[in-house]
Structure 1
Amino acid sequence: MMYNEKMLESFSKEYAERCQVTDKITAEMFDANGVLRGLRDKNGNGVVAGLTSISKIEAFRMENGQKIPCDGNLWYRGYNVIDLVKGFEGKRCGFEEVAYLLLFGELPSGEQLHNFCEVLATARHLPTNFTRDVIMKAPSADLMNSLTRSVLTLASYDDDIRDTSLQNVLMQCMKLISEMPMLAVYGYHAYNHYVCDESLYIHRPQPDLSTAENILLMLRPDKKYTELEAQVLDAALVLHMEHGGGNNSTFTTRVVTSAGSDTYSVIAAALSSLKGPKHGGANIKVVEMMADLRKEVSDWEDEEEVKEYLGKLLDKQAFDRKGLIYGMGHAVYSLSDPRARVFKHFVEALAIEKGRHKDFALYSMIERLAPEVIADKRKIYKGVSANVDFYSGFVYSMLDIPLELYTPIFAMARIVGWSAHRIEELVNADKIIRPAYKSIMVERDYVPMDER
C-alpha cells in the first residue's frame, strides 16, 4: 500500500481528540493524590532528586525558620559566578578557564590552563569529509535537530563508544565541547546556502583563538570581530555554562547516564531537552516580543505607552497571546538573576560600541516596568525580575548572530555543565534513576472482539 499522508492526517486528528479525553488528568487529581506536577511544589521549589558539588543556586535565605526572598546567587564549584566573570574580564576569555573548573573542580594555574586550551584546540577537529557528508546533507532551519543528528553520527566514528570508563568519557566530552561550535555554525551555513540560497563559506577554527573568538571567526564571511565582541560572547557562554542539576536538560543528562548509555546518546538527549521553548528557546521569544513591541508602540521612550503594551501581553492581547512577558521571571530566582545582573554591564558596553543606545534604554525600561505590571495583574508568590535570556537575545542580535543559532549557542556553553554532571553521575551513582508514577487507572474485564 502506498503512503497516504491525508489518510494519516485524518486518522491522527480523530485519535488526538480521543487522547485528549482518555489521558486527561485534572489538577485536582494531582492534588488529591499528593503528586507535585513538574516535580515542583506550588511555591516553585523542586523535589530533591540528588546531590551535586558542581554548582549551587540561591534565591531565598532562611531567617527565623522562614524563607525570605533575596538577590539570586550562582556558584560554580564553590566560586560565585560574578567573581569568576570579574576575575577574567578585560584580561582574557574565560570559557576555557571556567570549563576546566567545572570539569575538574579547581581553578587552573597558568600552565594548567595553557595545557587544557591546547587539548581543546587539538580536539577541535571533525572526521574527514564529515562536514560535506553529514552536515551538508539534509540541512534544516531547525539547527538543534541538525546538531543532534551530527552528535549521534559522530558516535559511528568512535571505536570505543561503549567504554564508560572515566578516562574515555572525559576524552569524549572534551572532544564534543570542542566540536560543538563547528557542528552548529557549519549547520547554519549549510541551511543558509541550500535552503536560503545564500553564499556558502566554511572557515576552519584557529588553534590559538578562544572558543568565543572561533565562533565569530567561523560565522562571519570576513572572519573579523572586535575584542569587545569576543569578550561579550565569552561572558554569555560562561553564564550559560551550568545551572544546577535540576534544570531539564541537565536532569536528562543524569537520567540517561544512569541507564549506562554512551556519551553521544547522553548529549543528544540533553540537546533534545534544551531545544524546547520552555527551556533553551526563551531568548528567541524575547527578541520576537521586542520586535512586536517596536511595531505596536509608537514612542519607545513613553513609559506609559510601553507599560500599556506590557499589560496587553499579560492580558493575552498582544504578541503571541500567551499571557507572558518573555525574559521576566525564573523558576528558581526571585528578586534577581545573578547572570542577568553581571551580564547587563557587558550588554551596555556592546550597545555603546554598536550605537544601540536607544535599544538598551528600552530594555532597561522594560526590566524596571515589567515587575510592576506583573505584580499588578498577577498573584505571585515570589519576586519577578529579568532573567539572563532577557538580555542574551539582544546581545546576539548586536553580534549579528542569526536567530537560528540562538539555542545552539546555549548548547555550546551548557555542554560543559552536562559533561560535568555526566562524570559526577558515573562516579557516584550505582542505580538507574527511576521515579515512581502513581496509577489512577481503573481495572476492567476483557471484552471479546464480537462484543465490543
Structure 2
Amino acid sequence: MVFLRSVSALSRLRSRLVQQSGLNGSVRWLQSSSETDLHSQLKELIPEQQERLKKLKAECGKVQLGNITVDMVIGGMRGMTGMLWETSLLDPDEGIRFRGLSIPECQKLLPAANPGGEPLPEGLLWLLLTGKVPSKDQVAALSKELRARATVPDHVYKVIDALPVTAHPMTQFATGVMGLQVHSEFQKAYEKGVSKSKFWEPTYEDSLNLIAKVPLIAAYVYRRAYKDGKVIPVDHSLDYGGNFSHMLGFDDPKMQELMRLYVTIHSDHEGGNVSAHTAHLVGSALSDPYLSFAAALNGLAGPLHGLANQEVLLWIKSVVDECGENITTDQLKDYVWKTLNSGKVVPGYGHGVLRKTDPRYTCQREFALKHLPDDPLFQLVSKLYEVVPPILTQLGKVKNPWPNVDAHSGVLLNHFGLTEARYYTVLFGVSRSIGICSQIIWDRALGLPLERPKSVTMEWLEKHCKKAA
C-alpha cells in the first residue's frame, strides 16, 4: 500500500474527507485528472515501494509472526502467515479490502458507468496497481487502452477449436490463455537479457494484454459451447464489464451492471487462495503472466475453489426439482439435513478464512433486492440464509456457517439468462485476471524471490513431537 500524499489544498481537503468517512489512510488520491497514464504512475511508485520493502526487511526481518504447529503443516498450511500480497487483505471479520477499501467503499468511490451504478472493473485495476482512487478520466483512459489491446490472434481460436465442444469451459479457457503465451513480452525481454530492475515493465505489458484479451477468449468459449459458435465482436463504445456482457450475448443494461459488479468483487481475495497462490508460486520461477495465470485457472477449476459457484446453482435447482418453488422452511431444513447426512456439504456456505457473512454475498444480495426481488430462486437463496447457518452451527464442526460469494452469484446470472452453470467458473477466471496480474507486476517490481517452503515427512514430525514432549 502507499501513503496518503497531500500536495495541494484540494488533496488536503480530500484527505480530510477520507478520514471523516472512515476510509483507510493507505489510499492516496491522485494529484490531478490529467495523470491518466497508468504505466507512468507505476514508474513513479515502484522506486518508493522498493525502498519501503528494503527498509522493512532490514529493520524487521527477524521479527517473528507466530508459531507453526503440526496442525498447520498437515492441514494445508492454514493460518500460516507466509506471503507478501499487496493488492488486497482478507480480515476474518471484516472481509476483503482492496488496497484498504471495503467493497461498500469501492462501490461509493470508484467511478461507475452510470450514476448510482456499480463500479467499473477498470477503476479497481487502477486502485489495485497504484493504491490510488482514480478519477473518471483516468478510468476512461484505461478503458480505452484495454480496448486497444483487446485483439486475439487466430491461432488461439484454432487451439480452442481443436478441443471437443463438450470439453469443460474451464479447459477451453485455460487452453486459450496458453495459446496467447507465444506473444509474451516478458519471455522475449528475458531472452534478450533485460535487467532485473526492469522485469516489471514487460510483465506490465503482458498483464494488461492478458486482462484485455481474456474476455474475448471467455466469450468465444461461451458462444462456441452454447450458442452454435456465433461470435459477437467487441463494441468499442463499451467499458470492460459492459463489453464482456455484450460479447456473451447479453445487452440488458442490468446484466451489464451485474457483470461490472461481478468482475469487481471476484477480482482478488488476498494471496492464500488456490488460484492466487498458484499464480504467485509459478510466477516466482519467473514464468511469464500467461503461464502463471493459466496455472491459476487450473486451480480455480477445482470443486473446492472456483468450481463451487457452478455447484451452488446446480444444488439450488435440485432443491426446486425435489420440493418445488414454493418450498416451506421445514422442507428446506429437511433437504439441508439430507445433503449433510449423505456426506456432502451445502455448497456456498463456509470459508477458509472468513468468520462472518461474505461481504461479496451481501453486495450481490443488495443488487438482487434492487433489480430482481421477486425472482423465485433469489427468494430461495434468502430462505437458505435463514435456514443453513443455524443447522451448521448445530453440527458444531463448522468454523464459519455463513454464506460466501458463491452462494449468490449463480442465481443472479441465471435470472438474466446466463443459465449454463458449467460456464460460471470462467466468469470467475476473467475476474481473477485483474487481481492476479496486478500482484504479478508488483512481484516483479519488488524483486520477490523464488518461493520454496520447507517440507517434512511424517517421521520427522513424529520425532519432533517426541523431542518437544
1:75 and 1:33 map into 2 onto residues whose CA distance is: 28
1:33 and 1:96 map into 2 onto residues whose CA distance is: 40
CA contact (8 A) 1:123 1:179 kept: yes
- Give 2:464's aligned residue: none
CA 1:122–1:438 in 2, change beyond 3 Å: closer, same or farther? same
- Give 1:11's aligned residue: none
1:337 and 1:211 map into 2 onto residues whose CA distance is: 25
CA 1:32–1:80 in 2, change beyond 3 Å: closer, same or farther? closer
Deviation at 1:52, TM superposition (A): 2.8
CA contact (8 A) 1:203 1:217 kept: yes
2:325 and 2:263 map into 1 onto residues whose CA distance is: 34
Instruction: State the AA in 2 paired with 1:57.
Output: L
For residue 452 of structure 2, the aligned residue among 413, 434, 445 is: 434
Deviations 1:44-102 (A, max 9, x none): xx21112233111112xxxxxxxxxx4x3321111112211234565255111111111
Range that drifts further, 81-90 or 278-287: 81-90
Deviation at 1:378, TM superposition (A): 3.4
In percent, how many aligned pairs have the same letter?
25
CA contact (8 A) 2:146 2:212 kept: yes
What are the equivalent positions in structure 2 for 1:55-74 lying under 5 Å apart? Answer: 55-59=88-92, 70=93, 72-74=94-96
2:361 and 2:438 map into 1 onto residues whose CA distance is: 23
Deviation at 1:227, TM superposition (A): 1.8
Instruction: State the AA in 2 paired with 1:108.
Output: P
1:204 and 1:433 map into 2 onto residues whose CA distance is: 40
What are the equivalent positions in structure 2 for 1:2-401 lying under 5 Å apart? Answer: 35-40=73-78, 46-59=79-92, 70=93, 72-87=94-109, 88=111, 90-91=114-115, 93-127=119-153, 129-130=154-155, 132-140=157-165, 141-158=167-184, 161-163=187-189, 165-192=199-226, 199-220=228-249, 225-298=251-324, 300-316=326-342, 322-352=343-373, 356=375, 358-380=376-398, 382-401=399-418
1:95 and 1:201 map into 2 onto residues whose CA distance is: 26
- Give 1:417's aligned residue: 435
Any idea what SS the aligned residue of 2:89 has? Answer: strand
1:213 and 1:35 map into 2 onto residues whose CA distance is: 44
CA 1:185–1:80 in 2, change beyond 3 Å: closer, same or farther? same
- Give 2:45's aligned residue: none
CA 1:360–1:49 in 2, change beyond 3 Å: closer, same or farther? same
2:157 and 2:428 map into 1 onto residues whose CA distance is: 25
Instruction: State the AA in 1 paired with 2:331.
Output: E
Moved over 6 A (4+): 30-34
1:31 and 1:430 map into 2 onto residues whose CA distance is: 26
CA contact (8 A) 2:275 2:296 kept: yes
Any idea what SS the aligned residue of 2:346 has? Answer: coil
CA contact (8 A) 2:214 2:430 kept: yes
Instruction: State the AA in 1 paired with 2:451.
Output: I
1:181 and 1:33 map into 2 onto residues whose CA distance is: 40
Deviation at 1:138, TM superposition (A): 2.1
Any idea what SS the aligned residue of 2:141 has? Answer: helix
Deviation at 1:369, TM superposition (A): 0.8
Higher Rg of the two aligned structures:
1
Deviation at 1:403, TM superposition (A): 2.0
Q: TM-score scaled by structure 1?
A: 0.78
Gaps of 5+ in 1: 1-29, 41-45, 60-69, 193-197, 317-321, 443-452
Gaps of 5+ in 2: 1-67, 191-198, 461-469
Deviations 1:323-357 (A, max 9, x none): 211111111111221111122111233324xx52x
2:295 and 2:157 map into 1 onto residues whose CA distance is: 24
CA contact (8 A) 2:186 2:203 kept: no
Range that drifts further, 359-368 or 426-435: 426-435
CA 1:326–1:264 in 2, change beyond 3 Å: closer, same or farther? same
Instruction: State the AA in 1 paired with 2:87.
Output: I
Any idea what SS the aligned residue of 2:219 has? Answer: helix
Instruction: State the AA in 2 paired with 1:209.
Output: L
Deviation at 1:135, TM superposition (A): 3.0
2:221 and 2:445 map into 1 onto residues whose CA distance is: 34
CA contact (8 A) 2:178 2:291 kept: yes
Deviation at 1:148, TM superposition (A): 1.5
1:125 and 1:299 map into 2 onto residues whose CA distance is: 44
Deviation at 1:159, TM superposition (A): 6.0
Deviation at 1:181, TM superposition (A): 1.0
1:299 and 1:417 map into 2 onto residues whose CA distance is: 37
CA contact (8 A) 1:310 1:325 kept: yes
CA 1:398–1:254 in 2, change beyond 3 Å: closer, same or farther? same
CA 1:365–1:251 in 2, change beyond 3 Å: closer, same or farther? same
Instruction: State the AA in 1 paired with 2:206.
Output: Q
Instruction: State the AA in 2 paired with 1:309.
Output: Y
Any idea what SS the aligned residue of 2:85 has? Answer: coil
Instruction: State the AA in 2 paired with 1:183.
Output: I
2:431 and 2:138 map into 1 onto residues whose CA distance is: 21
Deviation at 1:288, TM superposition (A): 0.9
CA contact (8 A) 1:54 1:102 kept: yes
CA contact (8 A) 1:232 1:350 kept: no
2:312 and 2:366 map into 1 onto residues whose CA distance is: 19
Any idea what SS the aligned residue of 1:370 has? Answer: helix
Deviation at 1:429, TM superposition (A): 4.0
Instruction: State the AA in 2 paired with 1:415.
Output: S
Instruction: State the AA in 1 paired with 2:135.
Output: S
Deviation at 1:105, TM superposition (A): 2.2
CA contact (8 A) 2:200 2:442 kept: no
Deviation at 1:35, TM superposition (A): 2.7
2:273 and 2:319 map into 1 onto residues whose CA distance is: 30
